[in-house]
Amino acid sequence: MPTHMNLVSLIDHAILHPTATDEDLVRECALAAELGVASVCVKPYMVARASALLSESNVAVGTVIGFPQGGNLTEVKVAEASLACEQGAIELDMVINIAKALEEDWDYISTDIQEVLNIALKHNAILKVIFETDYITSITAKQKLCEICSQLGVGFVKTSTGFGYTKQASGDYNYQGATLDDIKLMTEHTTNNVAVKASGGIRTKSAAQAMVDAGASRLGTSASQAIADDEPSSVGY
């Protein structure tokens, strides 16, 4: 079982909220360096500044591609990935085309991922592929996505963006995010050294530990301080 500090070192500290400003970026990058997380995951326009802010730390800079809905043309995702790597990102969290996955157009999905993976490999960057499991709920579809990602040899498969808000039975808009069942499924159905990242709704140390125990080796969250302090957090994604 990972120790407290090892658990924090698995976090990709998310700075992705639509309202996050440059001031927030400076503060959160400082926090990331202080805590010793694995990386920050920032909005694409923030990559260059985050790279500068963290240049003297061991914290990697990552960003999101096709975020949060995945519906961008493949060519746009490729351009976004290329620019991000040129500006200092060494980790790319890419959202699949959700509609194409629901339609089971696996050739499209495979090509979409492959084209972005080519950019990542060119720049020695890590590609993480986001399934958005609040929308992709079929076990068979999730298994197929794991198979495709394993065949292509991406770095990680990832549960959620943290922003996959769907209308609930109550009429509220909310999301579930990472679940232990999904982490176990993804762990069991990935090969070729593809790792698993849990993301979405992880706000406590106990929740983070449970995800790691289920097979996750990275954790996407903005509640890094609460996890480090082992205190509950009502905010975070």
Catalytic residue numbers, as ranges: 93, 158, 197
Longest CA–CA span in the chain (Å) reads 48
In angstroms, rounded to a whole number, what is the distance separating the alpha carbons of residues 187 and 195?
Answer: 7
Q: Is 69:94 a contact under the CB 8 Å cutoff?
A: no
In angstroms, rounded to a whole number, what is the distance separating the alpha carbons of residues 14 and 68?
Answer: 13
List the Cα angle 177/99/207 in 5-degree steps.
10
What is residue 6's DSSP assignment? Answer: H
Q: Is 125:89 a contact under the CB 8 Å cutoff?
A: yes
